[in-house]
Chains A and B, each alone.
Chain A
Amino acid sequence: MARARKRDRLRWSKLYTFSCFRHPHTDEGGGGGGGPSAASGSPVGGPGFSRVVHCNNSILHRRKPLKYPTNYISTTKYNVLTFLPKAIFEQFRRVANLYFLLTAILSLTPVCPFSPVSMIAPLAFVVGLSMIKEALEDWRRFMQDMKVNNRKVSVHKGDGEFGFRHWEDLCVGDVVRVEKDQFFPADLLLLSSSYEDGICYVETMNLDGETNLKLKRSLEVTLPLEEDETYKDFRGVIRCEDPNPSLYTFIGNLEYERQIYSIDPFQILLRDSKLRNTAFIYGVVIFTGHDSKVMQNSTESPSKRSRIEKKMDLVIYILFTVLVLISLISSIGFAVRIKLDLPRWWYLQPEKSNKLDDPTRPALSGIFHLITALILYGYLIPISLYVSIEVVKVAQAHFINQDLHMFDEETGNTAQARTSNLNEELGQVHTILSDKTGTLTCNQMDFLKCSIAGVSYGVRASEVERAAAKQMASGAADDQDISLEDVWENTEDEIQLLEGVNFSAGNTPKTSIKGFSFEDNRLMQGNWTKEPNSNMVLLFFRILALCHTAIPEVNEETGALTYEAESPDEGAFLVAAREFGFEFSKRTQSSIFIKEKYTSSNGTIEREFKILNLLEFNSKRKRMTVILKDEDDRIFLLCKGADTIIFDRLAKNGRLYEPDTTKHLNEYGEAGLRTLALSYRMLEESEYASWNAEFLQAKTSIGPDRELQLERVADLIERELILVGATAVEDKLQTGVPQCIDRLAQAGLKIWVLTGDKMETAINIGYACSLLRQGMKRISLSTTAGDQVAQDAQKAAKESLMLQIANGSQMVKLEKDPDAAFALIIDGKALTFALEDDMKHMFLNLATECASVICCRVSPRQKALVTRLVKEGLGKTTLAIGDGANDVGMIQEADIGVGISGVEGMQAVMASDFSISQFRFLERLLVVHGHWCYKRIAQMICYFFYKNITFGLTIFYFEAFAGFSGQSVYDDWFMLLFNVVLTSLPVISLGVFEQDVSAEICLQFPALYQQGPNNLFFDWYRILGWMGNGLYSSLAIFFLNICIFYDQAIRSGGQTADMASVGTTMFSCIIWAVNIQIALTMSHFTWIQHVFVWGSIGTWYVFIIAYGMALKSRDNYQIMLEVLGPAPLYWAATLLVTAACNIPYLIHISYQRSCNPLDHHVIQEIKYLRKDVEDETMWKRERSKARQRTKIGFTARVDAKIKQIKGRLHKKSPSLTIHTVA
């Protein structure tokens, strides 16, 4: 290990100019903090800063008073003890459940019209089921926690010995050693690292979603603590702030060797961030477990409810109202009957009545009866609705989880429905807000093209180019009748074919190198030496190989080099350089070694370049420069940076290739590539010396303007550059992203991209995934206002933005061409103003007018704010998708949060409602599962209302005939089983298995998705329709039966019907009617539906026969076998009532289908008649038409192109339309 460490010993601080500079002898200026400082001025020790950590002496922290929580984390809701009370409390927070609980309690009193068990059993069943679900979910959470808690970390065990210990056993004050690519187990104070100057790189993806590495550095005094043994006697005391959620601040002191040093955030390593590019670090634990900043930051994700469920609640409230109303009617009726009639009903012995039916106190009795009635008619409120929905949603979630089409072979991740209560919301999405990095792109850069000395190299097309070319080709070859899917399918095939050919031809597998997709024989295999400008090419390659801050790492087994670069672009450059024969092999403190290999036959030469200065990249400078000396002692300045920045700094004689390069840069930009311009400059020794002197002075200067000084000096040398060329790197889109966006757009979804990236990158990606295209009118909103400008400047900026928005809106309004598309691009600063209350609606209006919206440089908070604006401003369902911790706010704020469970960062996934492993699965998640789930749940809820109204109202009608006495015509057991057994399974099968059209049709006809956002299946019209149907059915069932069984004999034996036989017949009718009804509702019968629907009817007969065997059944004893079964009248009544109940619905659906068919009806018919096979042209044409007219996506690009062509060839268009009609 020691040897490996030696090699890593680089003093970056000597090289870095801006970010990592340490004031050597001062503690001035917050960022430094190397030397000892007095604690007098700091708040440490005061309130809020009471924490004391005895380093390497954790025993002190195992006892009071310095006992801090352990590193054990628990995210569970319950534990063994609290589960029952808490879970029960949770259950009864639902109004409906509370109501049922109340009725169950009341059922123990004589007020109740039923036996207590018939009230308590369903409730216990329903609540029990939900609680089991809760328990299972919590168990999963617990297992997850255990996994984290049981991770191992190397801890100092005393006497300089380190050993592994579980994370959960970690204590404040422990010294830990964290190896490369491990997560920090707790918040640590960095003591030393494998680098000599105590630097380490940290990836904070889990905290803020940023993929670039962050530098941390230890205090100078702790630098010697770099070996295991040195910790034998290490003692120190940290006094610092109490646990708080602020990730970017830290105030504290380290008391070490009788000196006090102040600690700042630079020395703090946060739990859940990852050590990168550094072999190991030592750190001392400051905050453990729930005290750590990341845990303090974790907020409980808000519980979300779907629109349908909210509306369902409303309907339930309506039903409650109806319930109260009929209960009131009933109790008033009861009171009146009691007052007026009961005294005359001698057979009830009114003189012996108790207070429940006391003719002398009718009001009191009426009030008691109100309670009875509320319980009795409780069947209006579907008790099993919630639990059925829960069951259905769990099943739906299971289908989502199991869907092989959403399984990612590479990561082995399936889609996960993390909360199942939003399934149907997936079918109603209106706007998608997407993160860019890691969501649309893989954050993997591929070197694809370059322009050297005015010549463009790289024959491989970018994804955008390829797809567009194919689209064009197909568009030209045929009419637009060819549907998009075919094009895509063909593309896939062709590409596969091409690659197959490549492989079989025995090509070297260059194409498969990560980060390198370049292909051009002019440059490869050393052929570049034959190029006319080979000098320039050489220079270009050297710039690639030299101008960076990466470190090579040798894989010990294979000897292959990998590069640890700060950004993926840089990595791609280095890989490219290596492939071109310029392998960056070693970096020392002052030199870079490159193995150059000009031609394949030549051997390699190792060259050493001395680094004189390194002016690293930052977002403000947008360039990076190295100044180095080659083996011939010539001094070069190599600079790469954004094209605009470089072009501004070119020398007069350096502009030779500018026009060509500019052209190429534009082409690359169009192809969706990220571009950088490369340039160089030769420096004279003297020139350099004088500049360096100035630079050193600036570097060592003290004071707040040091940064400015440095920048100014750096600027001095980065001039008079000579342009060499430009690189084009493909920020690889994730597989299928443009296709997915295209189809989502066709499904009528709006897509907004919110990214932390700079505007150029965002726009490039916008092009790459077809959110932007040529000919789109771009409205860019930005402000020039800096960070700390004065009040009036802010105001001015705001006003200018206001003007921009107004202009934009005006432009949109005045646009005559209906096909014109607008794109809105706004940057973060402008967004801060745009999100203010007075402006946000203007902004939103403009944004909704635009076909695509891209927000750049957006902070996580702004992402959440934008999401809220869209959600609340439009009142439509929003879906946020992202992969990083910076998307968490947005994911939690949106109606549906989708996390990409890609490579790292589980924060987004943890906060999300659904997780998928690739963006392209979103299409299937929404268009297939969302569509289905929406329809299923909507139909299911409607049916539930119907079913319970049908049943509940018959009870009410009977009341009127029973003197409002609260007698039910049905046996208690019938009531109990109605919701729980006899009608629940069919409706669950509807909710789980119904498919109006198959998955592939959902995908082929994205327009079908619009049924969800338009809420065709759960609008008030439909809900009321179903309720009306229920009302009608209840009337039909009750009155038909009453008339049939009025007073006459029901059998040839002369027997008349008693209450039991009337009740049983009515109940039979209900079972038949509601089950036939659901069969009519379904359009998809697998064996499961058949079993459930017909089985329910069968179960009823089995039950009533079995029940009839039991003497306990009172008047229902032998009712089916002896009384009703042999009576033709019973069967005649069942048939009549069942038919009468369902005829109106049958009329409705027949009429609707014949005169007003919905899209899925027609498609079902086409499929049914196999027209899609017989008339393929029609089928294809409809598929291509079945999309929203989009202004974004590939289709729109093609449409625009076709319009262009059409514009030129006027004659062609009429023939096209004729063709369509035929």
Chain B
Amino acid sequence: MASDPAGDEGGGCRLRSICGGCDSDPDVVLRRLDTNTSAPTAPQSALPSPSSSSFPNQQEPRLLFLSPNPSKQQARKSRKPRDQPPALAESPPFLGPGMASNVAVTGNAGSGADGDAPRRNRPKYSKFTQQELPACKPILTPKWVVSVFFLVGVIFVPVGVVSLLAARDVVEIIDRYDHACVPPNMTDNKLGYIRNQTISKDCTRTLRVKKDMKQPIFVYYQLDNFYQNHRRYVKSRNDAQLRDYKKANQTTSCEPERFTADGKPIVPCGLIAWSLFNDTYSFTRSNENLTVDKKDISWKSDREHKFAKNVYPSNFQNGALIGGKMLNASIPLSEQEDLIVWMRTAALPTFRKLYGRISVDLKVNDTIIVKLSNNYNTYSFGGKKKLVLSTATWLGGKNEFLGFAYLIVGGLCIFLAFAFTLLYVIKPRKLGDHNYLSWNRHPSGR
């Protein structure tokens, strides 16, 4: 019995195999849509069309005659005249979801149109539900593999070279001074030195410029082994307080630096602000003072939105323990850029923070004398302190790693491009070579 769905399947299949593999081809998709949508209506000669069932008297004998499966037709016909509610007679007590709706339709129709039920139940054709959405099916042909690797290589190598060159352009002077600035008699007791308020912390360092440095020259301080990313530390701040003077009392999460001893809220509260870096530097080049521009060293958005113009430090560093730098209570937070920079906690225990900018070009062999006050205690945790003078390029600082990484990845890709080319040459496999199908490769294994 060639029932309708089977015939449709066969027909559809053949058509598809003619145009197979070209799903994205709109033409073909259209054609397939045709075959599928026409499936229910196509065998009109063989099946009663839904509309015709409304004229049973005229049509039915002929339909019966033509129907490929008249037994069904007959069964329906014979069932119809019964005057009992159809739902009673037909549905078994347990109904699957699908059946249930079917029966419901039948029952409601009532007017003897139960022949339509299967049709109403018929899922609507859509490319989505039939999983026939047009799709692009990229496959990794050797051409693609080689060109992808090659392309990546071709892009990455120049990027690597450019960024390496940029990094090379950067001139950097790094001076570690934490050790050197301790008076020789106190090298065994650095902690005592740093904690002793009476000992002067002033210190002078001499730096030699090894290469021309174009302005702006950025002054950084670099701390080592300082866990600004410690959770206890990171949490210990309150942003609301910083941007709104009305919220000065909000010191939640600032533990353990929330209140002064007499219970007044600290602004800015928290460990971060409390431990503000307080070494200061001033630079002279052969008696010429190099001014350090400390304006605009923080992010603009921080200054304008996160640290308000009308919030002033209060009760800061008033406690028994004094952490770092004191803040001038008459300057609003938005202008306390050292604080703003410091409050951007670093990701790693080694970090640099911008101290200021020198807007003078430095020449090779210039000697720069740095006067610094070595106030900040890194001795207790064995951290290093460094002063860094550095220029910057479009890419930032002296970051040779990026360039090397690009070169390595790019080089690897070019190598891979060649390796795969070689592979395809030495061990060529024709694309779509049916000999590689498992049943051809291991004929005995099956």
Which of A901, A907, A1162 is the one whose CB lies under 8 Å from B437?
Answer: A1162
Give the 4 A-B CB pairs with smallest separation, nearest first: A412-B118, A1167-B21, A1048-B397, A1165-B432
Q: CB < 8 Å: which of B19, B122, B380 contacts A404?
A: B122
What are 30 pairs between A and B in contact, CB < 8 Å? A140-B97, A148-B94, A183-B92, A341-B381, A353-B232, A409-B4, A410-B69, A414-B123, A513-B71, A557-B81, A910-B96, A969-B229, A995-B131, A998-B20, A1000-B16, A1053-B392, A1054-B220, A1054-B297, A1054-B392, A1056-B352, A1062-B348, A1118-B305, A1132-B163, A1136-B402, A1163-B432, A1165-B141, A1170-B20, A1173-B18, A1173-B20, A1188-B446
- Cβ contact of B429, chosen from A499, A1147, A1157, cutoff 8 A: A1157
- Contact-residue size bin, chain B (C-beta under 8 Å from the other chain): 35 or more
Residues of A within 8 A of B424 (CB): 1154
The CA-CA distance from A724 to B341 in the complex, in Å, is 110
Is the CB–CB distance between B2 and A499 below 8 Å? yes
> Can you name the residue of chain A whose Cβ is closest to the Cβ of B144?
A1150
B306–A1111 touching, CB < 8 Å: yes
A206-B92, A404-B125 known; A1159 vs B78 contact (CB < 8 Å): no
Task: Report if A409-B5 is in contact (Cβ < 8 Å); known contacts: A401-B123, A1051-B396.
Answer: yes
Q: Are B381 and A1063 in contact (CB under 8 A)?
A: no
- Beta-carbon contact of B96 and A915 below 8 Å: yes
Contacting residues of chain B (351-374) with chain A, CB-CB under 8 angstroms: 351-354, 357
Question: CB distance A1172 to B437 under 8 Å?
Answer: no
CA distance A1178 to B432 in the complex (A): 11
Asked if B409 and A1140 make an inter-chain contact with CB atoms under 8 angstroms apart, the answer reads: yes
B264 within 8 A of partner (CB) = no
Check B286 for interface membership: any CB of A closer than 8 A.
no
Is A1052 positioned at the interface, with any CB of B under 8 Å from its CB?
Answer: yes
Residues in A with CB closer than 8 Å to B36 are 404
Q: CA–CA, A345 to B344, complex, Å?
A: 19
Chain B residues whose C-beta falls within 8 Å of the C-beta of A409 in the assembled complex: 3-5, 40, 118, 122
Q: Which residues of B contact A909 (CB under 8 A)?
A: 94, 96, 99
Residue numbers in A under 8 Å from B432 (CB-CB): 1162-1163, 1165-1169, 1171
Segment of B82-90, B182-190, B197-205, B327-335 engaged in the interface with chain A? B82-90
Q: How far is the CA of A398 from the CA of B97 in the complex (A)?
A: 13
A1182 adjacent to chain B (CB < 8 Å): yes
Q: Judging by beta carbons under 8 Å apart, are B271 and A347 in contact?
A: yes
Residues from chain A with Cβ under 8 Å of B354 in the complex? 1049, 1054-1056
Quote the shortest CB–CB distance from A415 to chain B (angstroms): 8
The one of B87, B299, B398 that contacts A1055, using a Cβ cutoff of 8 Å: B299
Interface status of B275 (Cβ within 8 A of chain A): yes
Whether A509 lies near B65 (C-beta < 8 A) is yes
- Check if B345 sits within 8 Å of A1115, measured CB to CB: yes
Q: Identify B95's interface contact among A144, A735, A899, A1042, CB under 8 A.
A: A144
Query: Which of these, A181, A492, A1056, contacts B6 with CB under 8 Å?
Result: A492
Counting CB contacts under 8 A, is A1098 at the interface? no
Assuming the contacts A1059-B346, A1159-B438, asked whether A152 and B98 have C-beta atoms less than 8 A apart, the reply is no
Q: Given A344-B382, A503-B66, A1169-B431, decide whether A967 and B13 contact each other with a Cβ distance below 8 A.
A: no
Bound: A354/B17 CA distance, A: 73
In the bound complex, CA of A394 to CA of B100 (Å): 20
Q: Are A1146 and B148 in contact (CB-based, < 8 A)?
A: yes
Take A1085-B137, A1162-B434 as given contacts and tell me if A151 and B118 are in contact as well, using a CB distance cutoff of 8 Å.
no
With A412-B119, A998-B23, A1139-B152 known to touch, is A906 a contact of B95 (CB < 8 Å)?
yes
> Is A820 engaged at the interface, CB distance under 8 Å to the other chain?
no
A905 within 8 A of B: yes
- B66, B229, B413: residue with the most chain A Cβ atoms closer than 10 Å: B229
A135 at the interface (CB under 8 A from B): no
Residues of B within 8 A of A140 (CB): 97
Q: Which residue of A lies closest to B126 (CB)?
A: A402
Q: Which residue of chain B has the shortest Cβ distance to A1146 in the bound complex? A: B148
Near A by CB (< 8 A), chain B positions 143-188 give 145, 148-149, 152, 156, 159, 163
B222 on interface, CB distance cutoff 8 Å:
yes
Within 8 A of A (CB), among B216-274: 216, 218, 220, 222, 226-234, 239, 243, 255-257, 271, 274
**CB < 8 Å neighbour of A1136 from B220, B394, B409:** B409
- Return A309 CB to nearest CB of chain B, in Å: 23
What B residues does A1147 contact at CB under 8 A?
Answer: 416
B9 contacts A963, CB within 8 Å?
no
Give the CA-CA distance A1049 to B398 in the complex, in Å: 8
Mark out the residues of chain A between 1098 and 1122 whose CB falls within 8 Å of any chain B CB in the assembled complex.
1111, 1114-1115, 1117-1118, 1122
Q: Is A1040 close to B, CB under 8 A?
A: yes
* Minimal beta-carbon separation of A273 from chain B (angstroms): 10
CB-CB < 8 A to B122: which residues of A?
Answer: 404, 407, 409, 412, 414
Give every chain A residue within 8 A of B216 (Cβ-Cβ): 1054
Q: A400 to nearest B CB, angstroms?
A: 10
Query: Separation in Å of the A419 CB from the closest CB of chain B?
Result: 12
Judge whether A1172 and B17 touch: CB under 8 Å.
yes
Q: What residues of chain A lie closer than 8 Å to B323, measured between beta carbons?
A: 346-347
A412–B102 touching, CB < 8 Å: yes
* Interface assignment of A20: CB less than 8 Å from any CB of chain B: no
Q: Does chain B have a CB within 8 A of A40?
A: no
Those of A1040-1072 within 8 Å (CB) of chain B? 1040, 1042-1063
CA distance A603 to B273 in the complex (A): 117
For B94, give the chain A residue with the smallest CB separation: A906
Which chain B residues border A1127 with CB–CB below 8 Å?
A: 396
Q: Which residue of B9, B22, B89 has the most chain A CB atoms within 10 A of its CB atom?
A: B9
| B99→A962 contact, CB < 8 A | no
Chain A, interface residues (CB within 8 Å), range: 35 or more
Asked if A418 CB lies within 8 Å of chain B CBs, one says yes
> Which residues of B lie under 8 Å from residue A1153 when comparing CB positions?
139-140
A348–B429 CB distance below 8 A: no
Q: Which of A418, A1062, A1115, A1165 contacts B96 (CB 8 A)?
A: A418
Pairwise interchain contact A901-B98, C-beta atoms closer than 8 A: yes
Q: Are A271 and B302 in contact (CB under 8 A)?
A: no
- Shortest beta-carbon distance from A1018 to chain B in Å: 18
Q: Are B229 and A1059 in contact (CB under 8 A)?
A: yes
Nearest-CB distance from A712 to chain B (Å)? 42
Question: Which B residues between 17 and 44 are near A, CB-CB below 8 angstroms?
Answer: 17-23, 36, 39-40
In chain A, residues 559-605, which have Cβ atoms closer than 8 Å to a Cβ of chain B?
560, 562
B405 within 8 A of A: yes
Q: Given A963-B227, A1129-B399, A151–B88 Cβ distance below 8 Å?
A: yes
Does B440 make an interface contact (CB < 8 A)?
Answer: yes
Residue in contact with B10 in the complex, picked from A144, A489, A1146, CB distance below 8 Å:
A489
What A residues does B49 contact at CB under 8 A?
none
> A250 CB to closest chain B CB, in angstroms?
20
Task: Give min CB distance, B71 to chain A, whole Å.
Answer: 4
Contact partner of B439 (CB less than 8 A), chosen from A735, A1151, A1185, is A1185
Q: Is A408 an interface residue (CB 8 A)?
A: yes
Q: Is B210 an interface residue (CB 8 A)?
A: no
Contact indicator A416/B97 (Cβ below 8 Å): yes
Distance in angstroms between the alpha carbons of A1143 and B67 in the assembled complex: 61
- In the complex, which residues 389-441 of chain A have their Cβ closer than 8 Å to any Cβ of chain B? 398-399, 401-405, 407-414, 416, 418
- Judge if B112 is at the interface, Cβ distance under 8 Å: no
Q: Which of B13, B96, B149, B321 contacts A901 (CB 8 A)?
A: B96
Contact, CB under 8 Å: B409 / A514: no
- CB of A526 within 8 Å of the partner chain: no
Once the chains bind, are A344 and B380 in contact (CB under 8 Å)? yes
A147 to B96, CA, bound (A): 11
Assess A405 versus B9: contact at CB under 8 Å? Given A151-B88, A557-B81, A906-B99: yes
Within the complex, which residue of B96, B104, B231, B275 is in contact with A967, where a contact is CB–CB below 8 Å?
Answer: B231
Pick the contact of B351: A489, A904, A1056 (CB < 8 A): A1056
Report chain B residues within 8 Å CB of A1000.
Answer: 12-13, 16-17, 20
A501 to chain B, nearest CB (A): 13
Cα(A905)–Cα(B92), bound, Å: 7
Contact B92 A272 (CB under 8 A): yes
Interface check B121, CB cutoff 8 A: yes
